[in-house]
Chains A and B, each alone.
Chain A
Amino acid sequence: GAVVSQHPSWVICKSGTSVKIECRSLDFQATTMFWYRQFPKQSLMLMATSNEGSKATYEQGVEKDKFLINHASLTLSTLTVTSAHPEDSSFYICSAKGQGYSNQPQHFGDGTRLSIL
């Protein structure tokens, strides 16, 4: 089945630093990738939609200058949390959607747990 790899799986860093998270589709080409955030005991919330070769579309309330998204190839999207602060600590999850039929499901990575001290 479709495999999406996310790296790193866990990161701790100091307040004020920037953190980059990678999302790769390993066995299919992903024209669209999605980034979600999940706080403890809550459901996933979509942050942004990333289409290969174009600017990401951010959901209302998500700061585009804070969460930089790059989708430079059909197999890789990156999320950079800039100048991270403790309130950015969360579980960040990416998903990828392949080419072909429009009803193709999204496949998710295993998430990145980000802790800002």
Chain B
Amino acid sequence: AQSVAQPEDQVNVAEGNPLTVKCTYSVSGNPYLFWYVQYPNRGLQFLLKYITGDNLVKGSYGFEAEFNKSQTSFHLKKPSALVSDSALYFCAVRDIRNFNKFYFGSGTKLNVKP
């Protein structure tokens, strides 16, 4: 079965510091991984995806994610956090046997303090 786990319900960082939001996955075969961000009272917005190739994927708003096959992880990172980055972040995997389905993690709330 395809699944993702986000071990942290909440991450707190100070503005200007680097941030990491963790995600681990469990899939059969090669993973198709995604990160989304959700602001209050809004739908999810796509940040970046990993399909194949470079392990470091760059996305929107200065975010990047590092794919690590041996650790089955796909952590979201940003070198310097902004207060406006405060939001709910979701990791997701697309079922490679059934492209119709995405499986989402439980979400991590990122708080960036001034």
Q: Do A and B bind each other?
A: no
Task: Tell me the B residues contacting A by CB distance below 8 Å.
Answer: none
